[in-house]
Structure 1
């Protein structure tokens, strides 16, 4: 009986490991970089949306380069989102109290993809927390829009440009 239990355990471990390896073979990443602009007249202390940023995905080409098609993509999620001050050179995120990033599309709906409730002081680059939301509809589509909500903690005397580097994890079914 113990041999049978051991055999079942080995088979389950093999199939569990094999499935993970197959998923790894069918997983790739899409990197997207956009610039968010915070204007000097931004209100302090209230949640305020920044100007939306339209994004063209070029997903068909990306899927083709990774030997898959949109209809075979089964899961897309945000793997990483890093914000870095691009301009002015000496600025850091001390002006920012909290931030949320959303994706939306013409097909309806908006999804919160990342956030940081308390922005640490003194940093020029911050990594937001992913919500692990399912983002297939946005990445498979031709376009989507990035929208940002922010709470500013202190006055901004000049416009600030922030580079948003996003990495999406894509897993597809085999062809």
Structure 2
């Protein structure tokens, strides 16, 4: 009987500590959202990768970390949770003319790294496309004052007009408290 009581007590203690750990992790995990816009020019080639740079994304990282009770030096991990592309112009454009899209991230002193990709895009795709994020730690990029996103597109058909995009990114930050 003492063994059973001992096992129950040990299980209760283990459950208590794992529950506390989960609460602490939740308190130290938060999301940061960024957006970037870019334009795919008209009359680019078909079935050939074409790189489209974007303007730098200002992170305001120090302020965003402070607003969430931490600082840059306490950040353990930043991963991309979601990346959605939306065609903002022209109204007749959609993703069906694209074969695939990859987005890369770069920052000062860091190599260009795959951020998210689409794989094979459906010919019935609409104006919004959710890409598959890489599971890589991106803290060396997002903790900086700015980072850049570059799109690599492969067209299924040549566009007759420029196509404007907005990339909406959600990064999940895990950090120690101040």
TM range (shorter): over 0.9
Choose which of 160, 168, 171 in structure 1 pairs with 2:171. Answer: 168
Residue in 2 aligned with 1:85?
87
The superposition leaves residues 20-61 of structure 1 with CA deviations (integer Å, 9 ceiling, x where unpaired) of 211111111111011121111222102221124322211111
The superposition leaves residues 75-119 of structure 1 with CA deviations (integer Å, 9 ceiling, x where unpaired) of 111011001110001221011111111111111212212111011
The answer to whether the 8 Å contact 2:38/2:165 transfers is: yes
Gaps in structure 1 of 5+ consecutive residues: none
Structure with max Cα Rg: 2
Residue in 1 aligned with 2:15?
13
Residue in 2 aligned with 1:142?
145
Calculate the TM-score normalised by the size of structure 2.
0.92
Distance 2:51 2:10 in 1: 55
The answer to whether the 8 Å contact 2:105/2:141 transfers is: yes
Q: Structure 1 residue runs of 4+, over 3 Å off?
A: none
Distance 1:4 1:48 in 2: 65
Name the Cα RMSD after superposition.
1.4
Residue in 2 aligned with 1:22?
24
Cα shift at 1:151: 0.9
Residue in 1 aligned with 2:119?
117
Calculate the TM-score normalised by the size of structure 1.
0.94
The superposition leaves residues 116-162 of structure 1 with CA deviations (integer Å, 9 ceiling, x where unpaired) of 10112231111111111101011111121111111111110000001
